[in-house]
Structures are given as structure tokens and as C-alpha cells.
């Protein structure tokens, strides 16, 4: 019974819900009408909200589980990568920008795996957190995309994504620097 309680706690359920939102956003992005982008942005906002809430509850109520530690970053990466790939054919983001973002995620995940194998835990630094914040707001704007309230959400979204890439490169360098001794030791 205790194992089921650990798996079926509120933070893990919120993480599962974030994964289940991905196909909804995916489906909405097949439609080119402006309203579907707004719907997708609303679902994306809900997904981001579950990410903040699940982490807060897990820490506050001491409900951190191995499943949650494993699943939470995967849910985040699936959400971001799926949406960014879907935005390419809509011409809302260049493919090379998405390629840089995906490459960075794979690179950092690999570095973390190597470090973890050697018993080193690399937690997200402030640059990684800034990267995530700019990236999430950028994606949100790219989903809305069109001009509303005298603001061109497409331009704002791309600008935020470019800022997130700068933070991505800085954080990637710091990750590499922190595990370079492990990499060089063989």
C-alpha cells in the first residue's frame, strides 16, 4: 500500500497530467486558425502551472519520490520539444533554433547521466532556471503568435527564445565545467 501511495501522490498525478496535456496541444496546433493557438497557449499555461505546483507540493509535503524525480524533467522536455517541433511547420520558429534547443537538452541530460553514474548530482543552476523561464514564456507567446493588445506575440516569443538560448549556452558550459574532471578521468 505504501508503494501505491508513493506513486499516486498529488505531485506525481500533476506530472502525469502534464504529460496528458501534450497530445491536446499537439492536436490543437494542427489547426491554423488563431483561436486554436490561443487554446493551445491556455493548455500550455496549465501545464506550466502543474510543473510549479507539483514541485512545491512535493517539497513542502515531503512527497518527493524516485518516480517524480525521474518523470518531472522528462515531462518538461516532452512538452517543450513537442511544441517547438510543431511550431516549425507553422513558421513560428526556425528549425535551426529548435535544433539548438534539442541538442542542448540532450547534451545536458547526457552530462547529468555521466555525473550521476559517478555519484555526482548536478542540480539546475540559476542560468538553467532563467533559461527555462524565458523558454516557457517564449513558447507561450509563440503559441498565441498574432498581434493582440498592440503587442506582436510572435516577435516577443522569438526574442524570449533567443534570450533563453543565451542562458542555455551559459548553463551548458557550467554543466560541462562541473563534470569535466569526471569526463577526463575516464
19-52 per-position pLDDT tens digit:
999 999 999 999 888 999 999 999 999 999 998 8
Query: Are residues 81 and 112 located together in one domain of the fold?
Result: no
pLDDT computed for residue 1 by the predictor: 43
Domain that holds residue 26: 1-89
Q: Are 63 and 11 in contact (CB under 8 A)?
A: yes
Closest CA to 12 of 38, 50, 49, 46: 50
Query: Are residues 102 and 182 located together in one domain of the fold?
Result: yes
Ramachandran assignment for 124, one of left (phi > 0), alpha (psi -120 to 50 degrees), beta (any other): beta
Query: Are residues 6 and 75 located together in one domain of the fold?
Result: yes
Ramachandran assignment for 62, one of left (phi > 0), alpha (psi -120 to 50 degrees), beta (any other): left
Closest CA to 73 of 103, 112, 46, 28: 112
Cell of 94: 526556425
Query: Are residues 21 and 54 located together in one domain of the fold?
Result: yes
Enter the pTM of the model: 0.88
pLDDT computed for residue 88 by the predictor: 96
How many domains, the chain? 2
Query: Are residues 85 and 96 located together in one domain of the fold?
Result: no
Cell of 122: 548536478
Query: Are residues 75 and 9 located together in one domain of the fold?
Result: yes
Query: Are residues 1 and 81 located together in one domain of the fold?
Result: yes
pLDDT computed for residue 96 by the predictor: 97
pLDDT computed for residue 94 by the predictor: 97
Q: End of a domain among 67, 89, 111?
A: 89
pLDDT computed for residue 6 by the predictor: 66
Query: Are residues 4 and 56 located together in one domain of the fold?
Result: yes
Query: Are residues 111 and 138 located together in one domain of the fold?
Result: yes
Alpha helices per DSSP H over the chain: 2-7, 10-28, 34-60, 66-87, 95-117, 126-144, 153-185
| Distance separating alpha carbons of residues 158 and 135, to the nearest angstrom | 9
Query: Are residues 136 and 173 located together in one domain of the fold?
Result: yes
Query: Are residues 7 and 83 located together in one domain of the fold?
Result: yes
| Distance separating alpha carbons of residues 157 and 90, to the nearest angstrom | 14
Q: End of a domain among 58, 89, 120?
A: 89
Q: Are 171 and 128 in contact (CB under 8 A)?
A: yes
pLDDT computed for residue 48 by the predictor: 94
Query: Are residues 80 and 114 located together in one domain of the fold?
Result: no
Q: Are 14 and 63 in contact (CB under 8 A)?
A: no
Q: End of a domain among 55, 89, 123?
A: 89
Residue numbers of the chain with a pLDDT score lower than 70 = 1-6, 181-186
Amino acid at each position: 500500500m505504501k508503494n501505491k501511495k508513493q506513486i499516486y501522490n498529488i505531485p506525481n498525478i500533476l506530472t502525469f497530467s502534464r504529460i496528458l496535456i501534450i497530445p491536446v496541444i499537439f492536436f490543437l496546433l494542427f489547426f491554423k486558425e488563431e483561436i486554436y493557438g490561443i487554446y493551445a497557449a491556455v493548455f500550455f499555461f496549465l501545464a506550466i502551472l502543474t510543473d510549479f505546483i507539483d514541485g512545491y507540493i512535493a517539497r513542502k509535503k515531503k512527497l518527493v519520490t524516485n518516480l517524480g524525480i525521474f518523470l518531472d524533467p522528462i515531462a518538461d522536455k516532452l512538452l517543450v520539444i513537442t511544441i517547438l517541433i510543431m511550431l516549425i511547420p507553422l513558421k513560428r520558429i526556425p528549425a535551426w533554433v529548435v535544433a539548438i534547443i534539442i541538442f542542448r537538452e540532450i547534451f545536458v541530460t547526457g552530462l547529468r547521466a555521466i555525473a550521476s553514474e559517478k555519484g555526482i548530482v548536478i542540480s539546475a543552476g540559476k542560468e538553467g532556471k532563467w533559461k527555462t523561464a524565458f523558454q516557457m514564456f517564449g513558447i507561450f507567446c509563440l503559441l498565441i503568435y498574432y498581434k493582440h493588445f498592440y503587442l506582436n506575440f510572435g516577435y516577443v516569443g522569438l526574442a524570449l527564445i533567443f534570450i533563453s538560448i543565451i542562458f542555455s549556452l551559459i548553463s551548458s558550459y557550467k554543466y560541462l565545467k562541473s563534470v569535466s574532471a569526471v569526463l577526463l578521468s575516464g
